[in-house]
């Protein structure tokens, strides 16, 4: 049923221009001043009515109108009539379809209308459905990926907190074979993990992946050379695929997955709308249980189903999976400090000393930290979660006979002596407390820079207190200055650590003599 009924004069003009003059639908629409879809609808109705050109002379306008626009069929009063208002309202909910509503209607009224009649009656009451253009794709060529706009609530069993889960969808171009899973977020770890599980689900690797321009995929969208996320590029190199991001605000570039998202929302998420999930694993098990039915559902206009087309077209064209799945890794940039270390998540890792003051690329996995300079790996360490500590390879530090003339322990102590002897003593203690003096360079510079913030007199007083307390650390000296303890009288020198303090005297403390 069209949105507006054409006049019979317009119908005559459309049929004449099409069948007598051979114009295109677009040309006819421009000539008649109507939409191209209206022209197509008029021609479709004329063909369905069996009309030919020229029209029979005895065909008056009333008869022509009845043939083109037959009256809507009246519902059978002997059958239970659905509540079309409720149907129309429920259809506005995401993922709900006429087929699903018809199934629920048949469960309540087994003798009710069949699906085709149900749809005809609803369309007569509510209007038409949009058409979707079909596109052709080569086998094994492209995998389209995106997130559904609809989320699924997951309830914490203990606190009752509701957390929305994102739904990742991937669709192969040639067969429409679909994969879906739930993740907590669209962040980089979940984004890359979904790709790994998609390739495992397919049992192979396509030639290209077409994502949207979300931050986990594209750091800087650009029409001709988009800046991909380094970790996403790392995954693409591991699997040997090319990443072809869709153009910004061009959903037709990934129309396959746009339609795939609708299918997943309608055939999976809509069916789960009445269930309550208490974990992401439980939700993914429910999605995985419905995926086979989605992929084995027959096509409406083509023979077979998604799985049959996948087995016949895409699977033979996919390239084999690599020997090991991709291991998630993040990439960062870091500058090598004068102590020959870089800082990664508050831990310090050594880098060869010729790279001091230069930037390196850092690849972080769950177990390793790798440093690259101009594409070459220059250092590799076991990843540590201990903050403030150093992981040092002795070979990365300069030898004694070729130490940097600019940065040496002696120079740092001499620089500290310009502030005062207590500051020099504190710096010397920091350097002496490290296995490699270079590990203390960063802390010494931090101590000396405190003089710019608090003044050299206060820094000297704070270092004097820190030396007396045997607390020569950057954090301790900074805390003394921040709390103003440097303005108080310096305490006496703390007793050596090898002489423990005497046991406290108290009525409830037995003491060592109790056990003799």
Question: What DSSP element (H or E) covers 437?
Answer: none
Q: Are residues 193 and 249 in the same domain?
A: yes
Buried b (16+ CB within 10 A) or exposed e, 323-359: eeebebbbbeebebbbbbbbebeebbbbbbbebbeee
Residue 56: per-residue pLDDT:
79
User: Could you tell me which residues come within 8 angstroms of residue 298 by beta carbon, excluding any fewer than 6 positions away?
Assistant: 304, 305
185 and 46 housed in the same domain = no
Integer Cα distance of 2 and 480 in angstroms: 81
Peptide bond connecting 83 to the previous residue in cis, omega within 30 degrees of 0: no
Query: Helix (H, G, I), strand (E, B), or coil: what is residue 376?
Result: strand
DSSP 16: I
The C-alpha atoms of residue 68 and residue 59 are separated, in whole angstroms, by 12
Same-domain status, 225 and 294: yes
Instruction: Please say whether the beta carbons of 194 and 168 come within 8 A.
Output: yes
Beta bridge partners of 15: none
Output the domain CATH number for residue 41: 1.10.10
Q: Which residues contact 444 (CB under 8 A, 6 or more apart)?
A: 412, 416, 427, 430, 431
Quick one: pLDDT at residue 264? 94
The domain containing residue 470 runs over which residues?
408-487
Q: How many domains does the chain have?
A: 5
Residue 184 maps to which CATH number? 3.30.420.10
C-alpha 473/C-alpha 443 separation (Å) is 8
Judge if 208 and 275 occupy the same domain: yes
Contact 352, 343 (CB under 8 A): no
Q: Is residue 179 part of a domain?
A: yes
Q: Are 427 and 412 a contacting pair, CB within 8 Å?
A: yes
The answer as to whether 148 is a domain residue is: yes
Q: E strands within 354-462?
A: 359-364, 368-373, 376-382, 390-391
Cα distance from N-terminal residue to C-terminal residue, the chain: 104
The reply to whether 211 falls in a domain is yes
- Residue 394 sits in the same domain as residue 416: no
Neighbours of 367 (CB within 10 A): 8
Positions of the chain with pLDDT under 50: 1-3, 75, 128-135, 401-405, 494, 496-502, 515-516
Q: Does residue 383 share a domain with residue 291?
A: no
Q: Look at residue 78 and tell me if it is in a domain.
A: no
- d(Cα 165, Cα 183) in Å, to the nearest integer? 6
| Euclidean distance between CA atoms 252 and 58, whole angstroms | 47
Residues 396 and 412 in one domain: no
Instruction: Please report where in the chains the tokens 């403030």 appear, as a residue.
Output: 388
- Of the candidates 444, 451, 474, the one whose C-alpha atom is nearest the C-alpha of residue 466 is 474
Do 18 and 37 reside in the same domain of the chain? yes
Q: How far is the CA of 194 from the CAs of 182, 304, 328, in angstroms?
A: 9, 28, 11
Which 8-state DSSP code applies to residue 35?
-
How many Å apart are CA 192 and CA 178, to the nearest integer?
Answer: 17
Element (H, E) at 181: strand 178-183
State residue 201's pLDDT score: 95
Task: Answer yes or no: is 342 within a domain.
Answer: yes
Tell whether pTM > 0.75: no
Across-strand partners of 251?
A: none
Same domain, 245 and 116: no
DSSP 110-136: TTS--HHHHHHHHHHHH----------
For residue 504, being part of any structural domain is answered with no
What is the pLDDT at residue 225? 58
For the chain, the 3-state helix, strand and coil shares in percent, each to the nearest 5, are 45, 15, 40
Rounded Cα distance, 385 and 355, in Å? 24
CA separation for the pair 410, 413 (Å, rounded): 5
Q: Are both 301 and 338 inside the same structural domain?
A: no
pLDDT, tens digit, for every residue of 169-202? 999 988 899 999 999 999 988 999 999 999 999 9
Same domain for 267 and 194?
A: yes
Q: What is the per-residue pLDDT for 405? A: 42
The per-type count for the chain, helices as H runs and strands as E runs, is: 18, 15
Query: Are 144 and 256 a contacting pair, CB within 8 Å?
Result: yes
Cα–Cα distance list, 288 to 146, 281, 292, 298, 398 (Å): 18, 10, 8, 19, 57
Tokens 């507006």 correspond to what residue?
4
Tell me the per-residue pLDDT of 302-333, one tens digit each, with 9 for 90 and over.
Answer: 778 999 989 988 898 899 999 999 988 888 89
Distance CA 432, CA 495 (A): 19
- State the DSSP H helix or E strand holding residue 452, giving kind and residue range, or none if neither: helix 441-454
Do 202 and 313 lie in one domain? The reply is yes
Query: Looking at the domain assignment, is residue 162 inside a domain?
Result: yes
- Which residue matches tokens 């979660």? 385
372 occurs within a structural domain:
yes
DSSP 345-368: TTEEEE--GGGTT-EEEEEE-SSE
Residue at a domain's end among 291, 317, 343:
317
The secondary structure of residue 275, as a DSSP letter, is: -
């Amino acid at each position: 049923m069209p949105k507006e009924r054409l006049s019979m004069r317009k119908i005559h003009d459309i049929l004449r221009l099409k069948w007598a003059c051979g114009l295109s639908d677009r040309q006819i629409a421009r000539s008649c001043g109507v939409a191209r879809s209206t022209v197509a609808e008029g021609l479709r109705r004329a063909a369905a009515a069996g009309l030919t050109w020229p029209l029979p002379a005895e065909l008056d306008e009333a008869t022509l109108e009845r043939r083109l626009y037959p009256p809507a069929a009246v519902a059978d009063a002997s059958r239970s009539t659905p509540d079309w208002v409720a149907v129309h309202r429920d259809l506005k909910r995401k993922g709900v379809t006429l087929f699903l509503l018809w199934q629920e209607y048949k469960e309540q009224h087994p003798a009710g209308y069949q699906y085709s009649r149900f749809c005809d009656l609803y369309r007569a009451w509510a209007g038409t459905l949009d058409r979707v253009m079909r596109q052709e794709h080569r086998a094994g060529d492209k995998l389209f990926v995106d997130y559904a706009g609809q989320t699924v609530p997951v309830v914490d069993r203990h606190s009752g907190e509701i957390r929305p889960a994102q739904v990742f969808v991937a669709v192969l171009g040639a067969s429409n074979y679909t994969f879906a899973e739930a993740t907590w977020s669209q962040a980089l770890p979940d984004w890359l993990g979904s790709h790994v599980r998609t390739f495992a689900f397919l049992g192979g690797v396509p030639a290209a992946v077409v994502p949207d321009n979300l931050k986990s995929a594209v750091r800087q969208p650009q029409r001709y050379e988009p800046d991909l996320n380094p970790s996403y590029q790392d995954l693409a190199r591991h699997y040997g695929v090319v990443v072809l991001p869709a153009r910004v605000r061009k959903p037709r570039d990934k129309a396959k997955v746009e339609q795939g998202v609708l299918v997943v929302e309608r055939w999976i998420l809509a069916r789960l709308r009445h269930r309550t999930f208490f974990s992401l694993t439980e939700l993914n098990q429910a999605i995985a249980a419905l995926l086979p039915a989605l992929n084995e559902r027959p096509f409406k206009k083509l023979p077979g189903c998604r799985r049959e087309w996948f087995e016949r077209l895409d699977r033979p064209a996919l390239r084999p999976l690599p020997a090991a799945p991709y291991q998630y890794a993040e990439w960062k940039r870091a500058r090598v400090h004068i102590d020959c270390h870089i800082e990664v998540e508050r831990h310090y890792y050594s880098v060869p000393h010729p790279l001091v003051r230069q930037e390196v690329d850092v690849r972080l996995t769950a177990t390793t930290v790798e440093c690259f300079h101009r594409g070459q790996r220059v250092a590799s360490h076991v990843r540590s979660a201990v903050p403030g500590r150093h992981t040092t390879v002795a070979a990365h530090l300069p030898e004694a006979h070729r130490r940097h003339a600019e940065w040496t322990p002696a120079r740092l102590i001499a620089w500290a002596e310009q502030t005062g002897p207590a500051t020099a003593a504190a710096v010397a203690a920091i350097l002496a407390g490290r296995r490699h003096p270079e590990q203390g360079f960063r802390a010494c510079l931090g101590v000396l820079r405190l003089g710019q913030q608090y003044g050299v007199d206060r820094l000297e007083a704070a270092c004097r207190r820190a030396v007396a307390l045997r607390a020569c650390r950057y954090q301790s000296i900074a805390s003394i200055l921040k709390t103003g303890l440097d303005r108080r009288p310096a305490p006496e020198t703390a007793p050596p650590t090898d002489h423990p303090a005497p046991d406290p005297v108290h009525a409830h403390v037995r003491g060592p003599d109790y056990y003799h």
